[in-house]
Each structure stands twice: as C-alpha cells, then as structure tokens.
Amino acid sequence: MSHLDIRTILQHLPHRYPMLLVDRVLELEKGKRITAVKNVSINEPFFTGHFPHFPVMPGVLQVEALAQAAGILSFQTMDRVSDESSVYYFVGVDRARFKRPVVPGDQLMLEVEILRTSRSVWKYSGRSTVQGQICCEAELMCTLRDIDAPGNAARDAS
C-alpha cells in the first residue's frame, strides 16, 4: 500500500488551486482502492458564497474530490502521470446521496474503490466521511482521453 504526499498528487492530477481537492493519500492499492484526505478550511474560496451565514462545502465539490481521488488511483494503476497529451474526464455520476454537511475544520476522508473498467471507462464506488460519519456516497465514471498538444488545434484549422 502506498502513501502519497502533495508533490506526488500534483504529478497525477492536472488540478491546481482552487480546484485541487486532495491533500494526501493515506492508502492506495493499485487496481483496487484508495483512501485520501481533503482538509476543509474556512479559507476555501467557495465558502464566501456557500453560505456566508453557515459555511457548507458544496456537495458537487465533495463528488469532485472523490473523482480526483479516483483519478489518482487510475493513474497509479496505469503507472502513468498526468501530462499535456491527455485529460482524465469525469463522465458520469450515479446514486449520489448527501447525508451530512461538511463544514470548515472537517477532515474529509475520501474512499474510492474500482468497480470495473471497460475499454477506457472506469467505474468507481466512492464515499466521503468525517469522523466515521458518511457525508456523501456516489458511483462515478471517468475516462482518459488523448488530446492534441497545445497549438495543434490552431495549426489544424489553417
């Protein structure tokens, strides 16, 4: 089982502040599962508008955090890193449920398990918890797609 720090996470995800939602990987079993952490701080930019009188992490960002953990798991499983020639897209969410608000000061535990892979589509089961209480559960689907290198689109159009 692997532990990954923020430097390694940055190699596996193209996301950066303010969209990077994984701070540390506690456990990773290639081809199977990952447990990661998102430390939720009052300094998060979304708290200024969601909600000023009672800051709550948006559910959609909890799902995004699970998808990012899934991306790390997939890149590790494929023995790849994120680069400019491909993008890991979030292509589906099923059975999303939100059971507990996530507030500043919470440590959001992200648990994702690979359910199956079919060609280039990966399906996962994910859940987030705070102090053992489930906050969010969802099934996620993601895919890795090759993209043109920067500048190729302009060249192709001419």
- The dihedral of CA 108, 72, 16, 62: what is its sign? negative
Write down the catalytic residue from 3, 12, 15, 50: 50
Residues in contact with 138: Cβ distance below 8 Å, sequence separation at least 6, in sequence order: 63, 66, 93, 94, 95, 96, 97, 126, 127
Phi-psi category of 111—alpha, beta or left, where left has phi over 0 and alpha has psi -120 to 50?
beta
Residues in contact with 58: Cβ distance below 8 Å, sequence separation at least 6, in sequence order: 46, 50
State yes or no: is 15 an active-site residue. Answer: no
Q: Which of helix, strand or coil describes residue 113? A: strand
Structure tokens at 77: 């499983």
Q: Which amino acid is residue 1, in one-letter code?
A: M
Rounded Cα–Cα distance for residues 111 and 59 (Å): 16
Annotated catalytic residues are 50
